[in-house]
Structure 1
Amino acid sequence: MVELVRAGRSPEELAREFEPSAQSIRTWVRQADLDDGRRADGLTSAEKDELARLRREVKILREEKEIPAQGRGFLRTGDGSAEMRFRLIDAENDHHGVSLLARVLGVSRQGYYAWAARQRRGPSARARRDAELTEKIRAHHATSDGIYGAPRIHADLREIDGIRIGRKRVARLMRAAGLSGVTRRKGCRTTIADRRAAAASDLVKRQFTAEEPNRLWTADITYVPTGQGFLYLAVVLDVFSRRIVGWAMAEHMRTELVTDALAMAIHQRQPSAGVIHHSDKGGQYTSVAFGQRCAQAGVRLSTGRTGTCFDNAITESFFASLECELLDRRAFRTRPEAERAVFAYIEGFYNPRRRHSANGQLSPAEYERRQAIKDVHQDGYAAA
């Protein structure tokens, strides 16, 4: 019932459809909101249970008609905070004197009155602000499908909501709300070198920077486990913005896989001659067919050393993000199911929306858009 109300159904509508009354449904929703931390104007179920236990113990003392000398220690150590004891006094002061309850519960009467005064004033301005920020943080965390940690949530708050707060405060509120980003898994080996093939020299030498788009592309292959066996993914990444400009998926790792990814990159970007394509020395990238396709398009080949992930660190970093943000969190029954999920991740999330630290927490598409605007302005100033 609670989930139906939260989904938009009214208590009155549900009462007509099911047996409980509308008021009962409202009561359930209110209690669920208290238990989930969505509101703080009442007691959670755990707090009510604790109050019930304390009331039973107070009743025992009352029935004995006197407070035993050791009464102040009747609560077990750590089993009732001062906050909980003050709540009990507040709930019971219509039936028993504050002095009696304070003495039984081992707290001071002055402490209770100070607590009660604070309750009347309500939460502080900072506490209210923290509650508001936590709701926004929850929303951005949910929008990222639970992927973002504090740095990217911090960027969302700044860019989307215009909220200027410290990253440490975001991290603190996320910890308090039980929210966290995803972490990465260990990689696997998909590079199988062809010792007979002549590989291109390393034109990059780990200098993964580009002043403009379509100057340096990196490429590699990874695998996606499914119930039907592995699905292989080849990508081409533009180092300038970390955008995936070409990709292909198949149930094999033959040369056609990387050729198709390259063809997509060329079709989408229409690069001028001289763009560098950097990869490892896998047999697919050192094959004659792949070399001929690159020569036809004016693409310069570059390869790093075999078995050294740092020579292709940019693409390895993308695969690590793909694995921890999608593959480690899903189980795919079929290859088509995995294909749809990978497509949605690349074209629906990573390229247009995922914030990238190398881009100043801008998505690859947004980074390219802003850089294009900046270049137009600079060209206008130069012409003037």
Structure 2
Amino acid sequence: MDVFAQRIVGWHAARTKHTDLVLAALRMGTWARAHQGRPITGGVIHHSDAGSQYVSVRYVERLALEGLTPSVGTVGDAYDNALMETIVGLFKAECIDTTVFHLGAWKTLADVEFATAEWVEWFNNRRVHSTLDYRTPAAVEEIYYAQAPAGEPATVNQ
């Protein structure tokens, strides 16, 4: 997720939480940004919880190759990664626990993948967010990049 506009840029579904799962999501996110003409530049921080897949050598090496600076939250502190905890909760409530994006029982991983793809598209392009002044993540980015000097990355004020 890109914190600036709360846009989901990379995701992946799998039966286990191994390093390959998060590597696939990372590759999707970096590819998507480059494909949109907004490649990752220096100064971008990648924050995660302290899960073993996020601190694995393969994952940390990939972050370095992509030019991302790793940041790992403290163990057992849900507040340290509150935005992602919220997004996971929304995903479960709005996609997994309802029949809006999938009818019937979840039978295959493909069922989850298709529903997730639809939910992410809806989340980024049609779901308004109160924290974004009731705009979508896509709209927030569009407004920002229309006004920003070419090549200037978005920043989050703290």
TM-score normalised by length of structure 1 = 0.35
Q: Is the 8 A contact 2:45 2:70 kept in 1?
A: yes
Gaps of 5+ in 1: 1-236, 377-384
Which residue number corresponds to residue 69 of structure 2?
300
Gaps of 5+ in 2: 34-38, 100-104, 150-158
Which residue number corresponds to residue 335 of structure 1?
109
Which residue number corresponds to residue 130 of structure 2?
357
Instruction: Tell me if 1:366 matches 2:139.
Output: yes
CA distance in 2, matches of 1:355, 1:321: 13
Count matched residues.
Answer: 139
User: 2:119 pairs with 345, 349, 354, which one?
Assistant: 345
**Alignment deviations for residues 128-160 of structure 1 (CA, whole Å, 9 cap, x no partner):** xxxxxxxxxxxxxxxxxxxxxxxxxxxxxxxxx
Residue 255 of structure 1: how far off its partner (Å): 0.4
Q: What letter is aligned with 1:342?
A: T
CA distance in 2, matches of 1:369, 1:288: 35
Structure with the higher helix share, 1 or 2? 1
Residue 253 of structure 1: how far off its partner (Å): 1.2
Larger Rg: 1
Instruction: Tell me if 1:255 matches 2:29.
Output: no
Q: Is the 8 A contact 1:273 1:297 kept in 2?
A: no
User: 2:10 pairs with 222, 232, 246, which one?
Assistant: 246
CA distance in 2, matches of 1:248, 1:333: 17
**Percent identical:** 38
Q: How does 1:109-120 map to 2 (within 5 A)?
A: none
Residue 277 of structure 1: how far off its partner (Å): 0.3
Q: What letter is aligned with 2:23?
A: T
Q: Is the 8 A contact 1:277 1:299 kept in 2?
A: yes
Q: How does 1:1-384 map to 2 (within 5 A)?
A: 237-269=1-33, 270-330=39-99, 331-347=105-121, 349-375=122-148
The CA RMSD measured in Å over matched residues stands at: 1.2
**Alignment deviations for residues 257-293 of structure 1 (CA, whole Å, 9 cap, x no partner):** 1111111111111210221000010000010000111
Which residue number corresponds to residue 153 of structure 2?
none
TM-score normalised by length of structure 2 = 0.83
